[in-house]
């Protein structure tokens, strides 16, 4: 009998969040939008008042609804970057 933890996770080649850490997501969003705009797009205190990656990570790891919003904005940002890239 094989234990569930010994099986490798199923591949997710079309999932843009697969293998991306929450820290990388927050860092990319802050670099792309800036903390001020990020706080306007997702009105949570960790983005609007004395923002930092560390405080954002602490909040987002405890708050599933906020994490979903951040991941959704990250996916939107990736699509927007792809759309604005020149077609080859």
Domains along the sequence of the chain with CATH: 20-83 (1.10.720.30)
d(CA 9, CA 86): 35
Sign of CA dihedral 34, 37, 40, 42: negative
| CA atoms within 13 A of residue 45's CA, in its CB half-sphere | 4
Contact 25, 75 (CB under 8 A): no
What average pLDDT does range 28-48 have in this prediction?
Answer: 94
Contact 46, 56 (CB under 8 A): yes
Residue 16: pLDDT above 70? yes
What pLDDT score was predicted for residue 5?
62
């Amino acid at each position: 009998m094989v234990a569930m933890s010994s099986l490798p996770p199923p591949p997710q080649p079309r999932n843009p969040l697969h293998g991306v850490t929450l820290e990388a997501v927050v860092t990319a969003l802050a670099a792309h939008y800036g903390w001020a705009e990020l706080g306007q797009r997702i009105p949570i205190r960790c983005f609007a008042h004395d923002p930092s990656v560390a405080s954002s990570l602490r909040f987002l790891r405890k708050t599933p609804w906020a994490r979903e919003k951040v991941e959704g904005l990250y996916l939107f940002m990736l699509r927007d970057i792809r759309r604005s890239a020149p077609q080859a």
